Amino acid sequence: MYTVIMAAHNEERYIGTALRSVFSQTLKPDKVIVVLDRCSDKSEDVAKGFPVEIIKKEEKKWVFSYAENLELARRLVKTPFLAIVDADVELEPDYFERLLLEMDDKTCCAGGGVVTRCKTFLCRLLRYWEKTYRFSTDRRPRGCALLVRTSFLEEIGGFADVPAPDTYIQDMGRVRGYSIKIVEGAKAYHIRDITIGRALRTQFNTGIGRYVMGKSFLRTLGHSIVRLRPFVLIGYLYATSKREYQTLRRKIVNHMKVYTGV
């Protein structure tokens, strides 16, 4: 019924836990595809310990490598649903069983509740910060453990060369009249240790991504205030001053218009 796609770049520390949680699902996937993106560690050795199909990517051809990884795997998917699972995520055993129950014909994608679970003091603070998401006016499922209708992806031409494939899917789904769902009873856990530098880089890159994906300044300002993420706004403003990001923004917005008729 569903195929799992997992992209990894030097994830030997986490990918084993992620794959064990995938193969421990109460509703088993038909296939698991692991895309090894120019790995120089032992990620491949760990992945080979599981019954997975491996794609080894030796060179980057798209601007946004993660989106390219997903599209490479999508072309091999034959099941009605496709599941994106990050290599640093651990799923509860009934995660996809719960999500699949919510996938009616009008739903393009669904995701569960995502919680940060690691041992550092910063991670404990991050768990409290994640509670600010409930105040967002645009709540969406997180992209790290997302179930997507395969036929919908075919409708929109597959994954585009964008910085945030999950946001792209959800934007396209809404414009085309589909619903997206958050299933809070389904739980996924981020297991990567967080550092201050990584947290700030993530915010900054999110801001760049929001600009490239065509999000407005006012929406990004509101996001930064409500979600207590000031570096998102800084990343957005930085992107507005760079010609390469201006060009990408026009390209992606025009691409979305082709598949939405807007």
**Quick check: 24 pLDDT over 70?**
yes
Rounded Cα gap, residues 127 and 229, in angstroms: 14
Q: Name residue 59's beta-bridge partners.
A: none
Residue 116's pLDDT band (cuts 50, 70, 90)? confident
Q: Which of 101, 86, 110 is nearest to 189 (CA)?
A: 86
Q: Which CATH class is domain 2-194?
A: alpha beta
The chain-wide mean pLDDT, for the chain, equals 90
Per-residue pLDDT at 173 exceeds 80: yes
In 10 A of CB 214, how many CB atoms? 14
**DSSP-based three-state secondary structure for 176:** coil
Of 137 and 4, the one with more pLDDT:
4
Q: How many angstroms separate the CA atoms of 57 and 38, rounded?
A: 6
Q: Where along the chain do its domains lie?
A: 2-194, 196-262
**88: nearest Cα among 189, 183, 196:** 189
Mean pLDDT of the region 70-90: 97
CA distance 197 to 204: 11
pLDDT at 124: 60
* 8 A C-beta contact, residue 96 and residue 25: yes
**pLDDT recorded at residue 86:** 97
pLDDT tens digits, one per residue of 192-233? 877 777 778 888 999 999 999 899 999 999 988 887 789 999
CB contact at 8 A, 190 and 116 = yes
The reported pLDDT for the residue numbered 135 is 55
Pairing label, strands 81-85, 145-149: antiparallel
| pLDDT tens readout for residues 57-69 | 999 999 899 999 9
Q: Angle at Cα 60 formed by Cα 55 and Cα 62, nearest 5°?
A: 110
C-alpha 31/C-alpha 77 separation (Å) is 8
Greater confidence (248 vs 46) lies with 46
Beta carbons of 67 and 162 less than 8 angstroms apart: yes
